[in-house]
Amino acid sequence: MKKKVVFVGLSGGVDSAVSAALLKYGTSLPAGRQGFEVVGVFIRTWHPDFLECNEEEERQDAMRVAAHLDIPFLTFDLEEVYKKEVADYMIAEYKAGRTPNPDVMCNKEVKFGAFLQKAISMGADYVATGHYAQNLSKNPKQLLFHGSHSNLNVVNETNIAYAEKSTALYFLSKSVDPSKDQTYFLWTLRQEQLKKILFPIGHLKKTEVRKLAKKFNLPVAEKKDSQGICFLGAVDLKEFLKHYIKEKKGKVVLASSGKGPGLKSSRRPGLEELEVIGHHDGVVFHTLGERHGFTITKKSPNDGAYYVVGKDIKKNILYVSQNKNFLIPQNRAFKNPQSPVFENFRINLKDTNWISKSYPLKAKSYSCQIRYHSEFLSCKIKCATSDVAQVIFKKPVLVASGQSCVIYDKNVCLGGGVVI
């Protein structure tokens, strides 16, 4: 039987290297299955001229992995699509005062957009990446790889129960390693894409991946994991954005000290009555929950850290509190359509994608994440149209527009949307 061809995205890191090795050598394949014909692909992306770039070093590491595994190596130049769909998108969203997630867009438009399309056009049966996620299938003929098109009877009953009620063939499920799970960044995937995608390490913990890297004697076995947005490297996000967005000095206003009643007082003050305790370089450079990048000028020795709890884009005001969970009450003073701050029990989503092609049930409780690695919040979903939905929580939430809200039914990622 002719082997299936898999184009593996080799980033130069250990996760993608182990993925390629597992695919080639057949480790963790179901009984009777042989390895794939593997082609390593390094994806060249965009980097700004003013930043030092280590992309060539990463490409060299990817080449070393391909040589060690004795597999063909290609370089796909996807700089143009990356610049337009990821970098330009991120800059435009920040200019508008929203908080985008460039990793979601990279997966949607680059890795499982342009890369997948080009690989298939060149004869690949599948593409594979080193994501910590599981692609599960109801089709026994698609029993290809544990964690990637695994038959649902090899996973837990949670997934089986969900799948039995759906007409979809493919399901995106959490990695077995909760600390590394990346399904939050993959909510835009569709059935036709999942049919062609493999996640070879989704059923493994990071410690197991490291052990396999040593077992296969991979040249990147001891390499540290990369952090942050790929084209920024070690550069601070705000410093990057300041090359594209002009600084605009504004007030830092105390919404609540975290000790006193603040805005929750029965004598709720208006905006002009609140205490100005510092300044910032532009409200668009900040996101909710952060505690750096602005200056506090009125601070006592016993004060703790101040957290961003609100933004008024139109008036360029940043609201802070020593209570990072402080929620700005909804009243006329804060009712500003230009202020992308929600402290309600409900948030609205646009550009929704439901992986199984079925809407979530109105009466059923689900869980969701509004930030990567944040807690899972209990919620219910109302779908207004095919691309608009409302998420209803049991308690108020603080979330900025532009963020991804990702919905789960226990271990299965149903999809998600962008907070309006």
Catalytic residues: 106, 230
Q: Which residue spans within 99-243 are E strands per DSSP?
A: 126-128, 133-137, 148-151, 170-174, 197-198
Tokens in use for 83? 């610049």
Residue 403: C-alpha distances to residues 185, 273, 294, 367, 418 (Å): 11, 31, 21, 16, 6
CA 277 from centroid of its chain's CA atoms = 34
Is residue 413 within a helix (H) or strand (E), and if so which, with residue range?
strand 412-419
> Nearest-CA neighbor of 128 among 23, 207, 2, 3?
23
CA 285 from centroid of its chain's CA atoms = 19
DSSP per residue, 118-155: HHHHTT-SEEE---SEEEEES-GGG--BTTEEEEGGGS
- Give the span between the Cα atoms of 64 and 73, in whole angstroms: 10
- Give the span between the Cα atoms of 277 and 267, in whole angstroms: 20
Is residue 206 within a helix (H) or strand (E), and if so which, with residue range?
helix 206-215
